[in-house]
Structure 1
Amino acid sequence: MLQINELSYTFGVGKSIFEKISLDVKTGEFVSIIGSSGSGKSTLFKLVTGLLEPDQGEILINGGKVTGKRLGSVGYMPQKDLLLPWRTVLDNVLLPIEVSKENKKAKLSEVREWLDRFGLAAYEHSFPNELSGGMRQRVAFLRTLMTGKDLLLLDEPFGALDSMTKRNMHSWLLGLWGELQKTVLFITHDLEEAILLSDRIYVLKADGIKEWKVNLPRPRSSELIYQEDFIRMRKELEWLIQHENN
């Protein structure tokens, strides 16, 4: 679904963000990117979407090189929900369909089905300021899904939520994951979140990038975080980040 080969990017004069990094995301996978602040996680997303262009290397989506802006080839969800305050939940979710000039009426029943699956059916006529933080993120995620893109880039979508709301969002997403049939590249600072949600994790380090496989079967429950194997994996991942120059 996504292949990055020997990618290098320098910001300004001589400040190398990363050099010759490679990674891949297979169809149907949930892959997380973690790393210390300033390691280049958000820059990598900007390169994938085409908002920035690399100094060298290539980015392939669905096996092909996309020239120019790649944002139209992926669904992108930033940390802030960016819901339009003057539009209802339903109208916010319909926005990508309007932009693509699809027949909105023809898609309305499908959108309402997804609102029901997302636990938002009772709120379709509500405005964003009437929703909790977790519900706003559900709306934003559904709007990203409605782009119709198979590859979704999620940039710390739960980062601004309190710990209990974030935990609820994890349970909600784990319960939905089998139905979504999407491929996700996910940025997070939260190690538990990365392990719980992901099939594989890439750690961005000062000297490159390292792949780390999550050996946990699906379906998963958020209760996994209390298990001994999960705690061991978290310690291992934390050590890997803290010793990033080794």
Structure 2
Amino acid sequence: MSRPLRIDFNCDLGEGCGDDAAIAPHISSASLACGFHAGDPLRMREAVAVCLRHGVAVGAHPSFPDREGFGRRELATTPEQVHADTLYQLGALAAFVRAAGGRLHHAKPHGALYNLAARDAAIAEAIAAAVRDFDPGLILYGLAHSALTAAGERVGLRVAHEVFAERRYEADGTLTPRDQPGAVIDSLDEALAQVRGMLREGIVVARTGERVPIRADTLCLHGDRPDAAAFARALRAALAAEGIAIAPPFSTPD
């Protein structure tokens, strides 16, 4: 697999637990909390303004209604409920983007909803349908080679297969659950090595040692980690050193 010349670099912002202003200059797209797992109207407005000021493409980050668990607890739900919740959150964020003179760029589920959609075809289809119903021009971000990316493609959406800089993978291409030891990569050097493997070779080394083929359209860094700004700066510099341009998916090259 040839080395890609460009990739999207995204981060989850507007969650009230990171330095959005310090992260935004280093990324090309951001997924903003819509009030269900984090965020509120004022924070959404502020996060949109930060992104637009730095030329960062703004996406919605819909989740389970779980502020207490930061959206990382899998709640009992139905496809109908997920469709409605996703539409609601897309509309909320899009209002702030439009008021600021921008346009919503993508949608990416958060936390437990993201992981559920990666493996559950019915939930994936509900999310993809909600995104299409809201705006068929939006890009759907989902775990690479997952049920969510497949559902997005089936309904005619543009899909960005997402990989993670600082999360471990399992042999089936899913993310190592956060309650497992080593699920989060704390070492910058280890994260950079994982990113290089995904971009240069199209593989990620699983927690158990297997080399797993992977498609990388967009690279995610979690914005809620304490060192997110330093991680973002270092990853951006490393990608530049590799000769890899950073740009939102499907954007027109300069």
Query: Which one has the largest radius of gyration?
Result: 1
TM-score when normalising by structure 1? 0.34
* Structure with the higher fraction of residues in strand conformation: 1
TM-score when normalising by structure 2? 0.33
